[in-house]
Amino acid sequence: MTEPILVRYAHSEFPVSCDFAMLFFSIAQWSKVGSTRLRFPLLLLLATFWLSVATQSAASDVRAPESTLAATLTDIHKRSGFAGFAVVLQDGTKTHFSQAFGTADFVEKRQYQATTIQPVASVSKVVIGIALMKAQEQGKLTLDEDINGYLPFSVKNPHAPNDRITLRSLATHTSGIVDDSDFTIGGYGLSLRPERSIETYLREYFEPSNSKQLEKRFAKSAVGSNYSYSNIGSTLAAYVIERRVGKPFDEFAKEEIFAPLGMTDTHYFFDTAFAARYAKLFEINPQPYPLYTQLFEPRNALVPKALAQIKSYSNANYPDGSLRSSASDLSKLMSAVARGLSDEATVISAASMREMTRPQFTAATMPRDMDRREPNRGIFWAHARNGNVRHTGGDPGVTSFVSIDPKTLSSRVFVMNTQVDGDENKRAVDSFIEIVRALDAYDAARAIAAVR
């Protein structure tokens, strides 16, 4: 068995507009894993900085033409220290901007492209959402049934054993399941594929050796009453799908989502057929914490000194954050969402697409710990205060987000092979904010031009 990677990034969420600033506060709780400090405190700085720039007028920083946006992003990249990233912007199904910047592999001298493939961290969860809706359409499950009717083992909150945990509560992170970092650290490994099945991994989590461990893994509150972002809960939903459709989750996603949408670059596990197109992953301004150093490749003179290349890794909890894709392929997924919101059936019906993306909570059912700046959830999607529906992700060497405006159907895809957050990474965080500001300004300028 390979040595586990003892670093937990929790597939953290990152901002794509001013409404995302609150996420940096919510992640600050991950300040320690054992005696080793994770690098989320800098997110507080990002939140403060972003809130200060959010008040500036988009009109004061207009970057309208595609060529100007490309030049702006090129300049930001040069100053940022990032390895490489790609941006795809669409109106509905029409792409109006698709560009990549920087490097996918310094040793092989490969430039980052919109078709470069890499892990996308928690953006993976939107696939679980679509797969849930597809399985429900097929009559395999329903969102509001007790998941214990679908499982070969029991998942009960020991603090509220009579409560029903449903797929909807898993999809909105209100099931009461709490991620236990002492356990989830061990889900990472340096093997190219997970060495444990989802079932084995989940059984170990929900059938621990003592009751105290189980109590730690659930909130002391009723199902639906408290919001707590859960990677374990997300993979549990994927496992229910796997059980009900009778095939591994990755195969179901490929057959029912990726293949029909032409997402030929998208998959979950390392595949030698795509090896020449994989981006290498990097930590910016890496710190020499003992647990972190397990991730790093030996220093190579061709890699900039500010970056540390990360070894390939896998995770037994793969459905929640191990999807490999490209910005180009993810734009196909966002096109399908746009079509569904336009009452056109794609891989799921228009009704299912609306159900998946609509706000799941009313004022009367709003759970505790939902920040007002991120006031609602869809089925594995988040609702920003400005009305956008999106998901974001961060993992070792990864920063990503997808976002769509349900009214205008304008969408964004961003994928980068560098982890943004980290100790003393102010330049990296500021550069990421600059990218988002440039996209906001570009959208604002296009909107102004459209009414002229």
Averaged over 35-51, what is the pLDDT? 38
Read off the pLDDT band of 420 (50, 70, 90).
confident
- Asked if residues 103 and 82 have their Cβ atoms less than 8 Å apart, the reply is no
Q: Note the pLDDT tens digit of each residue in 69-78.
A: 999 999 999 9
Q: Note the pLDDT tens digit of each residue in 76-129.
A: 999 999 999 999 999 999 999 999 999 999 999 999 999 999 999 999 999 999
Nearest-angstrom CA–CA distance, 342 and 237:
27
Nearest-angstrom CA–CA distance, 344 and 378:
19
HSE on the CB side for 1, CA within 13 Å?
A: 11
HSE on the CB side for 100, CA within 13 Å?
A: 22
Single out the residue of 297, 333, 268 nearest to residue 117, CA to CA. 268
Averaged over 237-260, what is the pLDDT? 98
Angle at 352 between CA 412 and CA 149, to 5 degrees: 120
Task: Tell me which of 88-102, 284-298, 352-366 is least confident.
Answer: 284-298
Question: In this predicted structure, what is the pLDDT of residue 216?
Answer: 96
HSE on the CB side for 433, CA within 13 Å?
A: 23
Question: In this predicted structure, what is the pLDDT of residue 423?
Answer: 55
Which CATH number does 18-451 carry?
3.40.710.10
For residue 187, what are its two tokens? 């889900």
Query: Which pTM was predicted?
Result: 0.88
HSE on the CB side for 218, CA within 13 Å?
A: 26
* pLDDT at residue 36 tops 90: no
Question: In this predicted structure, what is the pLDDT of residue 377?
Answer: 96
